[in-house]
Chains A and B, each alone.
Chain A
Amino acid sequence: MIRWDWIPGNIGQLAAALADHVVLTGIAVSVGFALSLLLALIIYRRRALYPPIAGVAGILYTIPSLALFAFLVPFTGLSLLTAEIGLVSYTLLILIRNIMAGLDSVAPDIREAAEGMGYTPFQRLVRVELPLATPLIIAGLRIATVTTIGLVMVTALIGEGGLGQVMLRGFNFRNYAAVYAGAAVTVALAIVVDLLLTGLGRLATPWARARGGT
């Protein structure tokens, strides 16, 4: 039996959990993106490093989340740090792959024109290649963010978890209203963030919409 009246009385708790969830996700994606960008730029300079870096990121990605957290707890405890190490690890593969795909998608003639006209390598990267990689980078951010929103739930098991906490407690106390409410808010969060990122991508790439018309 589901006590739906639990929800109106606990909006505050849900909101706090949502805020928590957003912060956990935000930190993970921001740090993950910064790290991925750094690694992608290293790969950009030294292509030979792509397979090993992608390989490590791939191994991290395949470790089941529970196992990863369980492995980390003896070192970093039941802490935010533990949660974030895990969450960040999971964003790396997606983000590095997409940043590299974006940089590689720049047509050779554009690169050659930039070089021939006297862009320094750094100017070419920042003013030409990264802007042109934006659509694929945004696509990577969307996948990474939505994935992270889901994974944050799991961190409830090590004392974090945002909306995952609400659901976990719901399970423990057979309070299915809390379970459903937590799930619904999580899904809504994922959808809203995805739409926001899509919109951000469109704003950042006005040229991509300008086609054909005269």
Chain B
Amino acid sequence: MAERNVKAMGAFRTDVARSYTAKPEQVFDAWVDPASVKAWLAEGEKAIVDPREDGLFYLEMPYEGRKYPHYGRYLRVERPSLLEFTWVSEGTRGKESVVTIELVARGGKTELTLTHEGLPDQEMVDSHQGGWSQILAGLTKRLG
């Protein structure tokens, strides 16, 4: 397994989950097959992928009216349950963030959990303290 560069990463993370009516193999392949990646992830724009440990990728991702170049390095490629890659873009301000995708078969469906760690946090990078995320989460919940 290739290693992440923890010291180059930011401190924020986000978790997103979905359930798909498909086999884990099918969902996994959608993330690594070049034509599939181009079709859904890059929305038809340029997608160059080499999905093996330490393989690299380049994606041109359209988002809110602009195309954003994304670069990364595959850290773990374990079909059909786990895929992990670094994710570097303007949105991560050049920092090496890490995306982990876990796939679990459950009742004919596949549960997907995506974790995006190491997102940058400006001034907070230096002064980050454990309670910050929880406080913010609690606050925003409360403030709607």
Whether chain B is bound by chain A comes out as: no
- Measuring CB to CB, which residues of chain A are less than 8 angstroms from any residue of chain B? none
